[in-house]
Structure 1
Amino acid sequence: MDPLTILAALAAGAAIGFVLGLVGGGGSILAVPLLVYVVGVESPHAAIGTAAVAVALNAAAGLAGHARAGNVKWPCALVFAGAGVVGALIGAEAGKALDGEKLLALFGGLMVVIGAIMIWRRGGVEDPDVRLDRTTARHLLPRLIPAGLAVGLLAGFFGIGGGFLIVPALLFATAMPTGVAIGTSLVVVTALGASTAGSYAVSGLVDWKLVALLVLGGLAGTLPGRLAGRALAGRKGVLNTGFAMMVIAIGLAIVWQGISTFS
């Protein structure tokens, strides 16, 4: 691996870590475009497999803090993640079977959709005491299982953590507070990322050296991102909207570049 590629991978990891620290999520959606267009990974499939490993590791690292703070609804998380893993394994196989350039174009379309969700998502009535047990299972399971399966299919197909899909899905299914949904989503992101990564690794579509560089860069970028996030805490809404618009713009550019692959 040449020095320029190493520097590009470290910079990509730092950018992902900075975004995670700044806005509290969304770094994973940038991983694939950064690997393809900045680091120069030629195979979109290899970029997706490599990104999936980094996503799982980042989520697992962030999960510990949320778990200590009590921001994880474990029964809901495990049911959602269980259904999601099934979907992720199916989605990963479907993604690997699709032409890489077409897959990348569809990924751009997903970025546009996720950016729109980030902008238009509105808070609803929250239930901080929601819990999955024998009395609530009849109501919650028919919501959690299909939502987990659907998100897992997308996460596996595109190799993303799916945090910006998982959080709205958890809010819809359970009405848990947003902060708790974010913590709970990290259980799911870890499981989906690991499942997708495992599927791609078995097919030889993970560059482990790049994974290490992304993680190292991410560690370096997270702290500055958190400091910037605290300094700009009063403008959190502006930050989130700005990031969402950037995601949409990148997605549109990817779609525009790859639309010819469908002709």
Structure 2
Amino acid sequence: MTEQLIAALGSGGLVGFTLGLLGGGGSILATPLLLYVVGVAQPHVAIGTGALAVAVNALANFIGHAAKGHVRWRCGLVFSAFGVVGAFGGSTLGKALDGSKLLFFFGLVMIAVGALMLRRRPLVEVAPRPVDRRMCVLTAVMALLAGGASGFFGIGGGFLIVPALILATGMPMIDAVGTSLMAVTAFGLATAVNYSLSGLVDWALAGEFIFGGVLGGLVGTLAATRLSAQKNMLNRIFAGLIFCVALYVISRSLGAIAG
């Protein structure tokens, strides 16, 4: 138990540190860390527990953005409401899929996230869109798709939500980032609740992981100010780490499927 506690605190600290240092992407490591470092035996338990940790981390960052006025509340609430429906649907499909196959697809998503981090460029600004039927329908569709992906893989999905918000509403990048954290929190909680209904969330472990994440986030935020000039290099290093972990996840899942 002591070894697992140390592993959970350390793994959560790594995720929190990465989020604080780079501002995103670190949550994708939650499930692999829970499986291969902390020692969670079931992939679905790791995904359900990781989804809860992702939601709490997102909420902590969301509070800071909200205090600075970087949240479009009406758009965020509408996006979150529709996305929660998608998250419940996606997480239900994820629970029904064999754990090894789910991890294989998770590894592919990790590769996609790593590639996006390598190619990260400022998104093209979109002119603000009028609040009409077309915008509402587009927002609802984007929210359902992003929520479904988030629930299926048990990830935050910020890399999907931010561009979806900009495309649907034309809001500025800084507001899209802040508003996306509301959606990430909602999607993560919806996924965790759905998994918990099947007994697939380890609440004590989630608490340890989250506590480590809070401490790691504080250290990462402090380090970010000193290493801001090297952020592009840090993104590349972290993307390389994601690729390595993704290949490990894929190889392990393929071995389990073949066996």
Which TM-score bucket, shorter chain as reference? over 0.9
Instruction: Report deviation, 1:119.
Output: 2.4
Paired with 1:123 and 1:17, the residues of 2 have a C-alpha distance of 24
Q: Is the 8 A contact 1:93 1:157 kept in 2?
A: yes
Q: Is the 8 A contact 2:100 2:257 kept in 1?
A: no
What's 1:113 paired with?
A: 112
Work out which of the residue numbers 128, 131, 147 in structure 2 matches 1:130: 128
- Please list the CA deviations of residues 108-142 of structure 1 after superposition, one character each: whole Å capped at 9, or x if unmatched: 11111122222224334425x837xxx42334223
1:223 aligns with 2:222: no
Tell me: CA distance 1:243–1:173, structure 2 relative to 1, closer, same or farther (3 Å).
farther
Work out which of the residue numbers 169, 172, 182 in structure 2 matches 1:174: 169
Match of 1:154, SS state, is helix
Q: Is the 8 A contact 2:89 2:151 kept in 1?
A: yes
Segments of 5+ residues of structure 2 without an aligned counterpart are none
What's 2:196 paired with?
A: 201
Tell me: CA distance 1:42–1:182, structure 2 relative to 1, closer, same or farther (3 Å).
same
1:211 aligns with 2:206: yes
Instruction: Report deviation, 1:254.
Output: 1.1
Instruction: Report deviation, 1:75.
Output: 1.8
1:189 aligned partner, one-letter code: V
2:233 aligned partner, one-letter code: V
What's 2:245 paired with?
A: 250
Stretch moving more, 103-112 or 172-181: 172-181
Match of 2:201, SS state, is coil
Tell me: CA distance 1:246–1:169, structure 2 relative to 1, closer, same or farther (3 Å).
farther
Instruction: Report deviation, 1:261.
Output: 4.6
What's 1:6 paired with?
A: 5
Q: TM-score, normalised by structure 2?
A: 0.93
Q: TM-score, normalised by structure 1?
A: 0.92
Q: Is the 8 A contact 2:104 2:249 kept in 1?
A: yes
Paired with 1:221 and 1:124, the residues of 2 have a C-alpha distance of 28
Instruction: Report deviation, 1:156.
Output: 0.6
Tell me: CA distance 1:204–1:225, structure 2 relative to 1, closer, same or farther (3 Å).
same
Work out which of the residue numbers 126, 143, 150 in structure 2 matches 1:155: 150
What's 2:97 paired with?
A: 98
Q: Is the 8 A contact 2:91 2:154 kept in 1?
A: yes
Q: Is the 8 A contact 2:27 2:156 kept in 1?
A: yes
Match of 1:161, SS state, is coil
1:10 aligned partner, one-letter code: L
Instruction: Report deviation, 1:262.
Output: 4.8
Paired with 1:163 and 1:210, the residues of 2 have a C-alpha distance of 24
Q: What is the aligned length? A: 258
Q: Is the 8 A contact 2:87 2:150 kept in 1?
A: yes
Tell me: CA distance 1:161–1:14, structure 2 relative to 1, closer, same or farther (3 Å).
same
What's 1:143 paired with?
A: 138
Stretch moving more, 203-212 or 117-126: 117-126
Tell me: CA distance 1:137–1:122, structure 2 relative to 1, closer, same or farther (3 Å).
farther
Percent identity of the aligned residues? 50
Paired with 2:244 and 2:206, the residues of 1 have a C-alpha distance of 26
Paired with 2:133 and 2:102, the residues of 1 have a C-alpha distance of 37
Paired with 1:197 and 1:54, the residues of 2 have a C-alpha distance of 9
Instruction: Report deviation, 1:78.
Output: 1.6
Instruction: Report deviation, 1:220.
Output: 1.4
